[in-house]
Each structure stands twice: as structure tokens, then as C-alpha cells.
């Protein structure tokens, strides 16, 4: 297996010059920026000493937007213009956003021809990309102020389960913020970089990453400076915000607050819930004080046992992806060396307890779970910027879902299977189905099922100008390339003529929250049925090919190469194949094809002889022997 060398030969920095690079953890709830100074990776604070930047932007008419803590105070009083958790909206369409499960107070505007919807604010209609860019600008300014110069480049982390659209949206936000992206790095992998280098431990490691808005689980092999992701899974709409929500709902029931309460009140309850959750990480009880609409107050308490009852179903939802990654990696619990906890939500004692019970070992929590991703990104950025020309670290990530192409019969031919390490390039040869075919549509698919209807369509493009040939003579090489950021490009080339076409896959919006997990579940649930269906479709396509080829041959040569009785016999078998082709029995179709092949063998042999005689007409045998 090829490994990616992420140091850059030939780009060594001058002896006394240090390229300024940073790692950015662009989080759902909070964001951080980190860098490597004097050989140590550290997160950078703002002028008030705060390392965490709340991922919140507040827009004011004709004024510069406020970011972070300054914006957070307006969440209750001006929710329409105070955008939080924008990461959940990146690369998504309006239909996807409505299924996230979060009661979003924003005024969405969907525009024709635009994938992501806009959010209407007093500063105008803004996309999630533009809003994320404001957060990145703030972190960029913090880094440049701290380092005393302009950044050479940054590594930005994304959830491992971000698809093409979400990754591209993150890149677009960085470009809009004036940043050069050295690489997008999966968050669990970034944590592994930080943890592996700090501890020097080799073996199989689980990275359990539960942040404010996303959950990722990755299994990695660390060996001699090589980080290889063996399998990954997760949920892009599950995190600490959901824990806060169930606590807030419990408080609403206890205080008899109506479900249709104003959004500002709900946000206030969410803040109270978050504070209680954090308090219960170190104490046994938390006091609750809620200002009711009628001016009265409600006082209550929440203890750790009650909290555990509320959040256990959410923690349990993280265990299914854990089981799947073990299965995908071909491992058992006994193969795991260590479990590393990442993300602010892993501070909760119940989460640590449940993860420890599942993996049958005490998880490691000795690195600040809020900072470890940014630190890993900073280490990676330092290497990519050329500050460690002798760096030996290699890094391999994987793609979360198989990438394939539509073939005849509505089938999906997988070109790059899921969990393939990236960057990767795979090519496969295809051919034409009909005589004289001069164009081909390349339909790019994503998913684990066998039929196009059960997979996700990414995009289509056409290869035109194929020289007219008999069916099956053309050789079209289709190449899929996934870069280190997980972004896909596809090219198609007709090998005989050299004509080619290509496309960079930039889908207009991403998968719905549970689409990836559901696609994987379905691939297992319907595995047997899919194999039967694929076999049937393949036989039906083969039958069509045989029928079309035979009809063309009879039209061209039947009148002078076929005897009447042969013609009758072939047509009987041809009609039989046409009838059986519509059945649901692949074996019967295959048998009918074989029977038709038997009665046409003499005809095929005579056609071959006739073609040779025609080719040699007027030429001597000596001409061919000389060649």
C-alpha cells in the first residue's frame, strides 16, 4: 500500500527562517487556533487570555460583525442575527437542514441554482460559508498577532464524516477568509497526531471524538511514525448540543414551560442546561434557576443520577458506530491497545464510564480534549509548511463511502471501496454498448448498494467524440482521484483516439445527518437481496448485448450466410431469450443465452471466414507474411 509522505522534498526552509503556520479546529460549538513554537505545539489565546472562541457570529447593520464571546450575549435577545453552530449547515441544502433535528431560529432563503440556502440577517443574505469565514478571519488575526507576521498556510480540521460538499464548503470559507489551506485533516486523525507524538505509543488506537455538534469514531494503527486510519464512522448531528437539549426539555417539563416557547427563552434554557451539565462533571448536584414568562422564577436541582438517565440514550447512539468500525477494521476488542478521548463532551464522567465499559479499558484523558485536535493540526501544519524537512511522519486517512460509476442496467460498479486510504487514484476500463456509439455519460455514484436507485448521485459529465466502432471495441478508461482533503475528481479517456473529459466533483449540498449511517445499515440489511438483483441485472444486460449483436449480424450477413432452417432455429431461440429476459430468474436467462450461443456458433464461424476472405481479396498471402 502506498504511503503519503507529507514532508515536501525540495522545499526546505532557510536555516534561520521559520514559516508561520497554524492548525485550526473549526468546531461546532467552539473553535481554536494553535501553532508550533520552540518545538512545542500550543493553542493561542486572545488578548483576554481565552483559548476557546465560541463559534458564534452576531451581525449588526452597517457594522463589523461580532465574533465569539461578544456575539454570544446576543443569542437570547437577537437570535435571527446571531448565528451559532453554523458548522452543521456547511455544504447542506435546505431539505437537509430541516432534518437536522435542531430548532433553528434563522430565516432561511433558498435561491434557485444555489445549493446551500442563505440566512437573512440585517447585514444581508449570508451563506454558511460566509459566516464560517468570519470565524476563520478572527482566528487568523489572533494567530498573526501572536506570531508577529502573516501565516504561510493552515491545516483546518473537519469531522471524518464530512462529505465532498461539506469539505469543499470549509475550503471555500478559508479562501474567503484569506487563508491558504495546506490540508483539510480529519479531526480524529489530528488528535492521533497529537497523542501519538506525545506518547510515542504504537499499536491499535481508538479515537472517540464527541464534540459540541458531531461525533466521530476512528480506529488507527500507529507504527513507526505512520498513522493509518483503518476504519471510521460517526454521526454529523450528534454532540454536546444534543445533551444540552434533552436537559433543557426535562427542565421545561419540570417547570411546566410550553413547547412553543420563544426561541430566545429556549436558548436561555440551553445555556442553563449547559452550565448544569458542566457543573455535574465535578459535582453531584446542580442548582437550576429559570425566569418564567410571568415574572416568576422556578428553582430546582438536577443530580448526576438524573443526568445519566437523560443522556444514556444519546451515549448509546455512539456505540453502534463503534461496533461498525471494529467490524470494518476486522478487529476485536482484544486488539485495541488504547482509547483516546477527544472533544469537550468527553469531560462528562458518564461518557468516560460508558466508553470504558464498551472497550473494556480505561480511556486516556490526559490531553485536554478541547485542545488536542487543534494541537494535532498545528503539528501537521508545521510539517507541511516545511519547518521540519527531516520529518518522518506519514499520514493516511480513508474515504467513508464507496465511490462508483453507473453501468448498464442501472448497476453501480464500485471503483474506490469505502475505507480506502487517501490520497488514492483508481482506474477502470469500460466500453460502448451499441454499434457506432460516439458519446458516453459518466454518472458518478456514492454508496454501498448495488443499484443506482439505492445510492447517492454525485454528478454527471459526458465524454464526446468517441470514434464510431462496433459495440465493445472502444476502450474508455475512467480514473477516480481522491486527494488528501477527501475531494474527488474524475476523468474519462478513450484510449484509441485519445479524447478525454474530466470534472471536479463539487456537489451542491451534503448528505442528510443520518444518510451515511443509514446507507451502511442498508448495505448489510439488503446484502443478499442486492447480490441476487445485481446478478439478474447483469444477465439482462448481457442478454441485451447478445440480442443487439445478433440482430446486427443477421441484418448484415444473414441473407448470404444463413440457410433457411438455420434462420428459423436462431429466431426461435432469439424469441425465447427475449421472453425469458423479462423474467426474474437470472439462471434461466443465462441458460437461454448459452442455448442461443450454441445455435449461432456455425454462423459466427462463417462470418469470421467471410470477413477474412473479404480482407484478403486482391492481396496475396506473401503480403501478410512479410508483415
Higher pLDDT, 620 or 177: 177
448 is catalytic: no
**What is residue 2's predicted lDDT score, i.e. its pLDDT?**
33
336 vs 378: CA distance, rounded Å: 27
454 is catalytic: no
The residue ranking higher by pLDDT, 259 or 297, is 297
- How far is Cα 461 from Cα 493, in angstroms, rounded to an integer? 12
Render pLDDT for 527-577 as a digit per residue (tens, 0 to 9). 677 777 777 878 888 888 888 888 888 888 878 888 888 888 888 888 888
- Report which of residues 201 and 72 the model is more confident about: 72
Q: What is the mean pLDDT of residues 218-234?
A: 77
Taking a C-beta distance cutoff of 8 angstroms, is the pair 562, 554 a contact?
Answer: yes
Choose the catalytic residue: 96, 163, 172, 187.
Answer: 187
Mean pLDDT for the stretch of residues 261-276: 79
- Per-residue pLDDT tens for 503-519? 777 543 344 435 555 65
pLDDT number for residue 206:
92
Domains plus CATH for the chain?
A: 21-238+318-398 (3.30.420.40), 240-313 (3.90.640.10), 403-525 (2.60.34.10), 528-616 (1.20.1270.10)
User: What's the confidence (pLDDT) of residue 3?
Assistant: 33
* DSSP H helices in 258-371: 263-279, 304-317, 319-329, 349-359
pLDDT digits (tens, 9 = 90+) for 109-123: 876 655 678 899 999
In this prediction, residue 43 has a pLDDT band, given cuts at 50, 70 and 90, of very high
Integer-rounded Cα Rg, in Å, for the chain is 30
pLDDT of residue 1: 28
* 393-409 average pLDDT score: 75
Do 599 and 573 contact (CB within 8 A), yes or no?
yes
- Residue owning grid cell 501478410: 624
Indicate which residue of 134, 209, 242, 517 is catalytic. Answer: 209
Q: Is the pLDDT of residue 286 over 60?
A: yes
The single residue of 72, 87, 371, 414 carrying the catalytic annotation is 87
- Indicate if the pLDDT at residue 83 is higher than 90: yes
What are the pLDDT digits (tens) for 348-385?
999 999 999 999 999 988 778 999 999 999 998 998 88
Contact 190, 23 (CB under 8 A): yes
Q: What angle do CA 50, 56, 57 make, to 5 degrees?
A: 115
Contacts of the segment 600-603: beta carbons below 8 A, 24+ positions apart: 600/550, 600/570, 602/566, 603/553, 603/558, 603/561, 603/562, 603/566, 603/570
Q: Is the pLDDT of residue 263 over 60?
A: no
Which pLDDT score, from 0 to 100, does residue 13 have?
Answer: 38
Over 90: is that where the pLDDT of 68 sits?
Answer: yes
Q: Is the pLDDT of residue 6 over 60?
A: no
Q: Is 87 a catalytic residue?
A: yes
Q: Give me the mean pLDDT over the 261-266 stretch.
A: 64
Please tell me the distance from the alpha carbon of residue 254 to that of residue 302, in angstroms, as a whole number.
11
| pLDDT over threshold 50, residue 129 | yes
Lowest-confidence range among 77-86, 519-528, 547-556?
Answer: 519-528
Average pLDDT over the chain reads 82
Confidence of residue 590 (pLDDT cuts 50, 70, 90): confident
pLDDT attached to residue 399: 76
Q: What is the pLDDT of residue 143?
A: 95
Confidence of residue 523 (pLDDT cuts 50, 70, 90): low
Burial of 133-160, coded b for 16+ CB within 10 Å and e otherwise, reads bbbbbbbbebbbebbeeebbbbbbbbbb
Amino acid at each position: 500500500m502506498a504511503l503519503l509522505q507529507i514532508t515536501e522534498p525540495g522545499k526546505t526552509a532557510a536555516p534561520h527562517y521559520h514559516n508561520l503556520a497554524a492548525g485550526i479546529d473549526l468546531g461546532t460549538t467552539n473553535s481554536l487556533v494553535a501553532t508550533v513554537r520552540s518545538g512545542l505545539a500550543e493553542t493561542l489565546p486572545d488578548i483576554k487570555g481565552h483559548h476557546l472562541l465560541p463559534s458564534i457570529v452576531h451581525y449588526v447593520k452597517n457594522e463589523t460583525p461580532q465574533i465569539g464571546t461578544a456575539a454570544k450575549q446576543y443569542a437570547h435577545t437577537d437570535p435571527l442575527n446571531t448565528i451559532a453552530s453554523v458548522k452543521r449547515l456547511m455544504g447542506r441544502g435546505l431539505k437537509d437542514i430541516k432534518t437536522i433535528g435542531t430548532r433553528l431560529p434563522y430565516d432561511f432563503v433558498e435561491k434557485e441554482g444555489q445549493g446551500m440556502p442563505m440566512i437573512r440577517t440585517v447585514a444581508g443574505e449570508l451563506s454558511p460559508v460566509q459566516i464560517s469565514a468570519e470565524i476563520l478571519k478572527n482566528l487568523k488575526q489572533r494567530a498573526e498577532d501572536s506570531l508577529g507576521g502573516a501565516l504561510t498556510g493552515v491545516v483546518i480540521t473537519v469531522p471524518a464524516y464530512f462529505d465532498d460538499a461539506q469539505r469543499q464548503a470549509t475550503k471555500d470559507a478559508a479562501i474567503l477568509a484569506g487563508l491558504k489551506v495546506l490540508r483539510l485533516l480529519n479531526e480524529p486523525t489530528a488528535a492521533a497526531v497529537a497523542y501519538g507524538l506525545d506518547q510515542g505509543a504504537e499499536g491499535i488506537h481508538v479515537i472517540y471524538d464527541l464534540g459540541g455538534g458531531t461525533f466521530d469514531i476512528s480506529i488507527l494503527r500507529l507504527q513507526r511514525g505512520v498513522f493509518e486510519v483503518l476504519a471510521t464512522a460517526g454521526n454529523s448531528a450528534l454532540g454536546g448540543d444534543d445533551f444540552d437539549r434533552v436537559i433543557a426539555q426535562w427542565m421545561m417539563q419540570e417547570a411546566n414551560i410550553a413547547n412553543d416557547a420563544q426561541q430566545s427563552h429556549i436558548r436561555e434554557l440551553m445555556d442553563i442546561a449547559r452550565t448544569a451539565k458542566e457543573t455535574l462533571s465535578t459535582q453531584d448536584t446542580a442548582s437550576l434557576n429559570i425566569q418564567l414568562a410571568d415574572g416568576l422564577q422556578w428553582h430546582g436541582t438536577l443530580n448526576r443520577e438524573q443526568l445519566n438517565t437523560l443522556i444514556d440514550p444519546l451515549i448509546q447512539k455512539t456505540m453502534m458506530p463503534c461496533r461498525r468500525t471494529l467490524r470494518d477494521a476486522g478487529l476485536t476488542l482484544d486488539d485495541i491497545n488504547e482509547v483516546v478521548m477527544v472533544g469537550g463532551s468527553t469531560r462528562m464522567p458518564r461518557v468516560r464510564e460508558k466508553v470504558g465499559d464498551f472497550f473494556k479499558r480505561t480511556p486516556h484523558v490526559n490531553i485536554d480534549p478541547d485542545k488536542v485536535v487543534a494541537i494535532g493540526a498545528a503539528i501537521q501544519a508545521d510539517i507541511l509548511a516545511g519547518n521540519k524537512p527531516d520529518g518522518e511522519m506519514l499520514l493516511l486517512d480513508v474515504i467513508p463511502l464507496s465511490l462508483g460509476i453507473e453501468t448498464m442496467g442501472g448497476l453501480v460498479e464500485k471503483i474506490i471501496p469505502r475505507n480506502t486510504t487517501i490520497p488514492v487514484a483508481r482506474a477502470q476500463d469500460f466500453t460502448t454498448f451499441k454499434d457506432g456509439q460516439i458519446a458516453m455519460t459518466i454518472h458518478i455514484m456514492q454508496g454501498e448498494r448495488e443499484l443506482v436507485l439505492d445510492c447517492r448521485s454525485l454528478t454527471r459529465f459526458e465524454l464526446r467524440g468517441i470514434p464510431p466502432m462496433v459495440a465493445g471495441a472502444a476502450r474508455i478508461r475512467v480514473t477516480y482521484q481522491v486527494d488528501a482533503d477527501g475531494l474527488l475528481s474524475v476523468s474519462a479517456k478513450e484510449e484509441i483516439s485519445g479524447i478525454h473529459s474530466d470534472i471536479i466533483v463539487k456537489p451542491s449540498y451534503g448528505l442528510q445527518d443520518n444518510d451515511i449511517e443509514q446507507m451502511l445499515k442498508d448495505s448489510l440489511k439488503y446484502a443478499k437481496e442486492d447480490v441476487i438483483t445485481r446478478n439478474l441485472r447483469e444477465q439482462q444486460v448481457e442478454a441485451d448485448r447478445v440480442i443487439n449483436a445478433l440482430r446486427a449480424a443477421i441484418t448484415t450477413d444473414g441473407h448470404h450466410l444463413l440457410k433457411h432452417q438455420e434462420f428459423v432455429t436462431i429466431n426461435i431461440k432469439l424469441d425465447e431469450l427475449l421472453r425469458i429476459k423479462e423474467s426474474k430468474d437470472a439462471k434461466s436467462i443465462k441458460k437461454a443465452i448459452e442455448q442461443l450461443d450454441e445455435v449461432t456458433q456455425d454462423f459466427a464461424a462463417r462470418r469470421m471466414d467471410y470477413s477474412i476472405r473479404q480482407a484478403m481479396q486482391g492481396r496475396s498471402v506473401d503480403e501478410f507474411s512479410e508483415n
